[in-house]
Amino acid sequence: MRLKFHFFIILIFSLLVSLSCQKSDKNSAPNEQVEEILSLEQVDQTSESDTIGSGALVLLIVSAIVLGPGLIAFFYYFIPLGLWYEARLSGIKVSWLTLMVMRWQRVPQELILKTLIRAKNAGLPLSARELADHYLAQVDIETVVNTLIRATNAGMSITLKELAAQFLARVDVEKVIHALITAKNADLEISLKTLASHYLAQVNVEQVINALITAHNSGYEEMTVNDLKEHYLSNGDVVRTVDAFVSARKAELPNFTFKDIAAIDLAGIDVVKAVEAAITPRVVETDGVTGIARDGVQLTMKLKITLRASIKSIIGGASEETVLARVNESLASEIGNSESHRHILRSPYELAERVYAKNLWKGTAFEILSIDVSDFQVGKDIEAELTTERAKAQAEMAKTEFIRAEEKVQKAMAAAFIDGNLSIHDYHNMMNTEADTKMRESIGKSANKSNKKKSEDAEDIEEH
């Protein structure tokens, strides 16, 4: 259909050219016939002029009928007069030839002109040819120009060519420019090329910029966008890591860097809780630890331990349970090394200081700030109980030996009866003698008790 229309236009122009080039025939009669022609000239002059006038009129009418609709269709198809005039009112000059070329290249004239008007009203000078070229390069003109207007209004020096190149590189220019504007408002100077390269590396540029602003606002201006990019590409949580880092700086914790905090996050540890443990010490009470002093008295003690996490030792350091186990073992050992339980009772905190002085937190993720005694109880006198049990055992052994001796005596007496060496009369005399001996021993013990009581009463009377 388009080829037919173009052929029709060309045919009309060819007709006009041929008609304009026509000339009236020149007289070629020889001189000898001049007189005859002159004689007839007067007769045909009137009719010839009438014929030429009527032919020109017909040609004019035919041309108007044929060319009028063609010219109207030509301008309607190639030149959007309404948009062209609207652009002119906005101070944008676009030639008809440029519009015709855009139509032949199948560039949407309305999109180009509307975009030019919007850019002009935003104070951004662009040309129709420039926009058409970027459109033909498959650039989303509307998105790129709107983004460029935002960047220009934010005071950023970015050209259409630079932004279009990033768009063709598959960069989300809207997201990147938004991040750049956010950084600029926070007085951070970051180039479009740098942030676009981070975006192409699959970095969440908005998240990284917000984290960087947080770090700079906390006073850590040494941090760069590349530091956060590396942490993000290592599957780290830049937001929580920077928040934890800022908290540690505000708490003035010693001897740590951003890399230490980032390493905690990459180790799979909750970095925020880890830093909170380093900022706010925890008080942990041990279970009752039982030990026996050298005097044999049993003591049970409880300690309150103030622990603080060490940022540099969190990764690979022993846990809190390890610290408590070491303290319990050291406490039991110190009780056992004490001369007597009375010495511990007189100065229990001296024992806690000896435990603290051993630096039991080495190799762990914590630091012991203090150790205090929270409770202690005196238990059994183990040595006395052992002595008593030993005496009982010895008594049982003596009784057993006595019973064995009596059995031997009984056997010997039985053998003496059988052999005739012992008579019944002798046996009764022996039993009477034994009973008399027991009676005398019992009377002697009673007399001793009575005398002892009298002496004690006398002492009491003298004291009173």
In a domain, 72, yes or no: no
pLDDT at position 412 = 65
Structural domain boundaries enclosing 254:
169-279
Domain with residue 342: its CATH number is 3.30.479.30
**Tokens 């004690």 identify what position?**
456
Q: What is the residue whose two structure tokens read 């002492």?
A: 459
Q: What pLDDT is attached to residue 452?
A: 59
DSSP calls for 105-117: TT--HHHHHHHHH
C-alpha angle 439-442-443 in degrees, rounded to nearest 5: 85
Same domain for 230 and 176, yes or no, is: yes
pLDDT at 74: 59
Q: Does residue 150 lie within any of the structural domains? A: no
- Alpha helix locations (H) across 267-381? 271-279, 320-337, 341-346, 348-356
Single residue among 279, 306, 328 that ends a domain in this structure: 279
* CA 283 to centroid of chain Cα atoms: 28
Decide if 184 is inside a domain: yes
Q: What is the model's pLDDT at position 25?
A: 36
306 and 273 in one domain? no
Domain C-terminal end among 337, 365, 383: 383
Q: Which regions of the chain are under pLDDT 70?
A: 1-78, 81, 379-395, 398, 402, 405-432, 434-436, 438, 441, 444-464
Establish if 80 belongs to a structural domain: no
Look-up of token digits 């460029």: 148
Residue 307: name the closest of 295, 291, 324 by CA. 324
CA atoms of 358 and 68, how far apart (whole Å):
109
Q: Which residues contact 441 (CB under 8 A, 6 or more apart)?
A: none
CA-based nearest residue to 178, from 201, 150, 141: 150
Q: Is residue 19 part of a domain?
A: no
Element (H, E) at 398: helix 382-419
Residues 228 and 315 grouped into a single domain:
no
**Do 199 and 242 lie in a common domain?**
yes
Residues 363 and 275 in one domain: no
Dihedral sign, Cα of residue 213, residue 215, residue 220, residue 224: negative
Same domain, yes or no: 174 and 272: yes
- Residue 389 has a pLDDT of 65
Q: Is there a single domain that holds both residue 253 and residue 345?
A: no
Last-in-domain residue among 383, 409, 444: 383
Whether residues 274 and 175 share a domain: the answer is yes
Q: Residue 298: inside a domain, yes or no? A: yes
Predicted confidence at residue 20, as pLDDT, reads 44
What is the pLDDT, as a whole number, of residue 174? 93
Q: Is residue 345 part of a domain?
A: yes
Quick check: is 374 in a domain?
yes
- 379 and 318 in a common domain: yes
The structural domain count of the chain equals: 2
The alpha carbon of 345 is separated from its chain's Cα centroid by a whole number of angstroms, namely 51
Residues 247 and 173 grouped into a single domain:
yes
| Spatial distance between the Cα atoms of 172 and 136, rounded to a whole number of angstroms | 19
Alpha helices in 201-270 (DSSP H): 205-217, 225-233, 238-250, 258-266
User: Which pLDDT value is given to residue 100?
Assistant: 79
Token digits of residue 261: 């905090």
Same domain, yes or no: 341 and 293: yes
